[in-house]
Amino acid sequence: MSFDPPSQRLHPLSVAPMMDRTDRHFRYFMRQITQKTLLYTEMITAQAILHGDRTKLLGFDPLEKPLSLQIGGDDPQLLAKCAQIAEDLGYDEVNLNVGCPSNRVQSGNFGACLMSQPELVADCVAAMQAVVDIPVTVKHRIGIDDCDRYEDMVRFVTTVMAAGCHRFTVHARKAWLQGLSPKDNRTIPPLRYDDVYRLKQEHPELWIEINGGIKTLEEADTHLQQVDAVMIGRAAYDTPYLFAVADRDIYAANAPLTRHQIVTAMLPYIARWTEQGTKLHSITRHMLQLFHGQPGSRAWKRHLTDHSCRAGAGVDVVKEAAVQVVEAMRKNTYNTMLLST
């Protein structure tokens, strides 16, 4: 693949923020696979950051860095306080969610509905940038409802850019605020990659990241010929090991760990958290797809699913699942040899 040298790009690859998926356990797991890819938290609302359990909501292991905190909100002053908290805790950047179309998010007047209020988004960005030194970025859609022309997106971006934001992650689909679920909004509106390419071509001064429907590093390579960065979402969760070669191919870093080496690397982390009372399933649910497409994948998932929710479940369950993978691989190799004779 023909990726540019890492020195020419800032975070050319990232894993998208995903609700109920990109928690600290998933991020630690992903960091065993790729040490360089930018990771995101789940979206956390400004109110939760200011009034919730910050250790639970915002805590992270230093190994997870580089790490971006995605915030949902529409009050510039509250968002500024959140940005300060993020910087004090050691986050590498703050990202404002202007892309989520869920009814719950809309009821709070944040997420994708803010695309109809670019001046307010600009005020939010300006307030955050005024109090922190870390980057403040925006993730948004192509458009919303019938306000989805390319010109509408440009008006939004240039308005926010005037407030000092120069990094935008564009989900290359519009969002319907009524009539489609968040899941359907990720698949039904057509992808419009060319609009994102055009945005970069017409505004080369901006750092543009593309998101939506990207499933492989080969596809990422194609997009990187047109934009600055690529964000991968569901595919990162469903086929996490695809990121194993990212450090080597994109960042010219070390060769990747094998899947079994990743399991071994996770064991001390799992032991530490389960000894503190965390249920094993809270961690291993993110690891179910590690062996996706490999002999033993079904046995791995079945053993973790059947045993990780049991009282007292710990690292032994993970070790047992890994042994089942090895046995399945040996059986597959033996059967292949028989077929070839």
The pLDDT tens digits for 154-190 are 999 999 999 999 999 999 999 999 888 888 988 899 9
CA 110 from chain centre, in angstroms, equals 19
Distance (Å, rounded) from C-alpha 309 to C-alpha 95? Answer: 34
- Known binder of ligand: residue 212? yes
Instruction: Tell me which fold the domain 6-251 belongs to.
Output: TIM Barrel (3.20.20)
What integer is the mean pLDDT of 286-292?
A: 98
pLDDT at 222 (0 to 100): 97
Q: Are 220 and 231 in contact (CB under 8 A)?
A: no
| 6-251 and 259-340: identical CATH topology | no
Active site residue 165: no
Residue 4 has pLDDT above 80, yes or no: no
What integer is the mean pLDDT of 240-249?
A: 92
Catalytic-role residue among 100, 113, 124, 165:
100
Helix (H) or strand (E) holding 341: none
- Known binder of ligand: residue 70? yes
- Known binder of ligand: residue 139? yes
**Residue spans per domain, the chain:** 6-251, 259-340
Amino acid present at 51: H
Q: Are 70 and 139 in contact (CB under 8 A)?
A: yes
- What are the structure tokens assigned to 16, written together? 């998208």
- Known binder of ligand: residue 43? no
Region for residue 185 given its phi and psi (left: phi exceeds 0; alpha: psi -120 to 50; beta: otherwise): alpha
Q: Are 280 and 246 in contact (CB under 8 A)?
A: no
pLDDT at 333 (0 to 100): 66
- Known binder of ligand: residue 286? no
What integer is the mean pLDDT of 311-327?
A: 96
The residues with which 169 forms a beta bridge, in sequence order, are 139, 209
The CATH architecture to which 259-340 belongs is Up-down Bundle (1.20)
Number of helices (H) and strands (E) in the chain: give both, helices first: 16, 9
